[in-house]
A and B are shown apart, each in its own frame.
Chain A
Amino acid sequence: DQQVKQNSPSLSVQEGRISILNCDYTNSMFDYFLWYKKYPAEGPTFLISISSIKDKNEDGRFTVFLNKSAKHLSLHIVPSQPGDSAVYFCAASYSGAGSYQLTFGKGTKLSVIP
């Protein structure tokens, strides 16, 4: 039972345009969501997060939107740059988990074309 789903395995975007990566979740108890970025042969790096009490969080070129009713979140990257080419993982957790365990999606590979 996959609780966090990233239905697009890959995405290609032109440099300078907007990249939109999507994530859906099924567990209504999730109340904290994160995005990680991963380059080949490196560990994932934390990118941005959002609590369920918010519907938007921005950090520079990165914005995460949360639609709780649809159990959907998205990561917007504007403008996209070639260095953004990586695999992006969506992750979720809930405060009742106690140990702050994260449940990850399978990832979306973003390619930004110069």
Chain B
Amino acid sequence: DAGITQSPRHKVTETGTPVTLRCHQTENHRYMYWYRQDPGHGLRLIHYSYGVKDTDKGEVSDGYSVSRSKTEDFLLTLESATSSQTSVYFCAISWDISYEQYFGPGTRLTVT
């Protein structure tokens, strides 16, 4: 398995509070991604990074921001959590010029 960890694994927070999820990799892969998985929607891309300090938006980026200050860490921030952001969040990584992405174990976030 690729060395990807996500923290926390579970979190319950209240509407309006800020939340930061962390993805850490030990593989030195260039690309990192954040997805959310919801029933009936499959996996949807939130943001991705193609290098340190290089990020771009995905399909469902509204309400989320990301940062990547070093190769191994990719942070996803919900500035003001809403109930619609209750979901399971997955981080993924991929090597240069490779389509195969390798996923972390996920973070289950509940916004009450």
**Which chain A residues have a beta carbon within 8 Å of chain B's beta carbons?**
6, 32, 34, 36, 41-46, 49, 89, 91, 93, 99-102, 104-107
Contact of B90 among A6, A44, A106 (CB under 8 A): A44
User: In chain B, residues 54-112, which have Cβ atoms closer than 8 Å to a Cβ of chain A?
Assistant: 56, 58, 90, 92, 94, 97-106
For the complex, what is the distance from the CA of A52 to the CA of B31, rounded to whole Å?
23
- Residue of B at shortest CB range from A41? B106
Chain B residues near A105 (CB, 8 Å)?
Answer: 42
A44 with B41, Cβ < 8 A, contacts A100-B94, A100-B98 known:
no
- The prevalent SS among residues of B at the interface is strand
For the complex, what is the distance from the CA of A102 to the CA of B42, rounded to whole Å?
12
Q: Nearest 6 CB-CB pairs, A to B? A: A43-B103, A106-B42, A104-B43, A104-B42, A32-B99, A44-B103
A34 with B103, Cβ < 8 A, contacts A43-B90, A101-B48, A102-B45 known:
no
| Nearest CB on B from A64, distance (A) | 13
For the complex, what is the distance from the CA of A105 to the CA of B41, rounded to whole Å?
8
For the complex, what is the distance from the CA of A106 to the CA of B43, rounded to whole Å?
7
A99 with B48, Cβ < 8 A, contacts A42-B105, A44-B103, A49-B99 known:
yes
A102 with B105, Cβ < 8 A, contacts A44-B43, A89-B42, A107-B42 known:
no
A-contact bits for B19-53, CB 8 A (1 contact / 0 none)? 00000000000010100000011111100101000
For the complex, what is the distance from the CA of A76 to the CA of B109, rounded to whole Å?
34
Q: Give the interface size bracket for B toward A.
A: 20 to 34
A99 with B56, Cβ < 8 A, contacts A46-B100, A93-B99 known:
yes
| Nearest CB on A from B52, distance (A) | 15
